[in-house]
C-alpha cells in the first residue's frame, strides 16, 4: 500500500489572481483532481485521500458552500464511467448527515458503482473533521505522504491520527495548477526520505550501544 493524502488548497487564490469568482477556482480544482487521479496509479499510489470540504468550511459564505455542493453533485456522476475504466474505487470519509440530498445520492451511487475497483482507492473527505473521526473511532489507513498545496503548512484538522508517521511535502503550486508532474515530484521527494518509525536506519550496524 502507498497512501498519499492531499490537502487541495489555493482554489480561491487562483481565482482571485484572475479576477474570477472563487467558484471558478473550485471548478478548475475539480479538473486538477481528475488529472491527479489519472496520474496516481502510474506512480505506485494505491490509496489517495483528498480533502475536498472540511467541517470548518461550513463557515464560508452560503453562496460558496452551495456552489461547492452543486459542483460535487455534478462532478461525481460525471466521473463514474472514467473511474470504472481506470479501476478507481471512490468512497467518502466524513459526516454524511449534513450533506445536501443531491450530494449524498451522488456519493451513494459512485460508491456502489465503483465498489469492486481495485487499482486505486480514492477517498474524498467531505464534511470532514479529523478530531470528530478520532472521537468516533472512524479511521483511514496510515498516510505515507501528505501533500499540501498553495504554500500553507498546516493540517487544518485532516488525518491527524493517520499522519502520525507521514512524510510531508509542501508546494507553492495552487491546487488548480497542480499537474501529474507535481505529484511525480512529490513522490520523488518522498522516495528520497529515510523513514525510521522511531527505530534506526535500515542496515545500521554502529558499534555504540
Of 114-153, which residues contact ligand IPE (CB under 6 A)? Answer: 150, 152
Q: Which segment (5-13, 15-23, 99-107, 135-143) binds Mg ion by CB under 5 A?
A: 5-13
| Dihedral angle of Cα 75, 145, 186, 196, to the nearest 10 degrees | -170
Residue nearest to ligand IPE according to CB distances in the complex:
12
Residue 53 contact, options Mg ion, ligand IPE, none, Cβ 5-8 Å cut-off depending on partner type: ligand IPE
Query: Whose CA is closest to 106, among 118, 124, 130, 129?
Result: 124
Active site residue 57: yes
User: Using CA atoms, how far apart are residues 47 and 51, in angstroms rounded to an integer?
Assistant: 13
- The C-alpha cell that represents 86 in the structure block: 481506470
Reduce the DSSP state of residue 51 to 3 states and report it: strand
Report the greatest alpha carbon distance in the chain: 64
Active site residue 157: no
CA 90 to chain centre: 12
Interaction of residue 57 with ligand IPE, rule CB under 6 A? yes
Residue 108 contact, options Mg ion, ligand IPE, none, Cβ 5-8 Å cut-off depending on partner type: none
Q: Spell out, one character per residue from 6 to 25, where the chain touches ligand IPE: x when CB under 6 A holds, - when not.
A: -xxxxxxx------------
Query: Whose CA is closest to 124, among 137, 114, 135?
Result: 114
Interaction of residue 144 with Mg ion, rule CB under 5 A? no
How many binding residues for ligand IPE (CB under 6 A)?
Answer: 17
| Dihedral angle of Cα 166, 180, 51, 171, to the nearest 10 degrees | 60
**Residue of 11, 47, 56, 57 marked catalytic:** 57
Nearer to Mg ion, 9 or 28 (CB): 9
Give me the residues that bind ligand IPE (CB under 6 A), please: 7-13, 51-54, 57, 68, 150, 152, 154, 156
Give me the residues that bind Mg ion (CB under 5 A), please: 9
Amino acid at each position: 500500500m502507498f497512501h498519499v493524502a492531499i490537502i487541495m488548497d489555493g482554489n480561491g487564490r487562483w481565482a482571485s489572481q484572475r479576477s474570477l469568482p472563487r467558484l471558478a477556482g473550485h471548478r478548475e480544482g475539480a479538473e486538477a483532481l481528475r488529472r491527479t487521479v489519472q496520474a496516481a496509479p502510474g506512480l505506485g499510489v494505491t490509496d489517495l485521500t483528498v480533502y475536498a470540504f472540511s467541517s470548518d468550511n461550513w463557515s464560508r459564505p452560503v453562496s460558496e458552500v452551495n456552489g461547492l455542493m452543486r459542483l460535487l453533485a455534478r462532478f461525481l456522476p460525471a466521473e463514474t464511467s472514467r473511474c470504472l475504466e481506470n479501476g478507481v474505487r471512490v468512497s467518502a470519509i466524513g459526516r454524511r448527515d449534513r450533506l445536501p440530498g443531491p450530494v449524498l445520492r451522488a456519493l451513494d451511487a459512485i460508491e456502489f458503482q465503483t465498489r469492486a475497483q481495485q487499482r486505486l482507492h480514492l477517498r474524498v473527505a467531505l464534511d470532514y473533521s479529523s478530531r470528530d473521526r478520532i472521537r468516533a473511532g472512524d479511521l483511514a489507513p496510515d498516510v505515507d505522504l501528505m501533500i499540501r498545496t498553495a504554500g500553507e503548512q498546516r493540517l487544518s484538522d485532516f488525518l491527524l491520527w493517520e499522519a502520525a508517521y507521514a512524510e510531508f511535502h509542501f508546494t507553492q503550486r495552487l491546487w488548480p495548477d497542480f499537474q501529474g508532474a507535481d505529484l511525480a515530484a512529490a513522490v520523488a521527494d518522498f522516495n528520497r526520505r529515510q523513514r525510521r518509525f522511531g527505530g534506526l536506519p535500515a542496515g545500521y550496524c554502529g558499534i555504540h550501544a
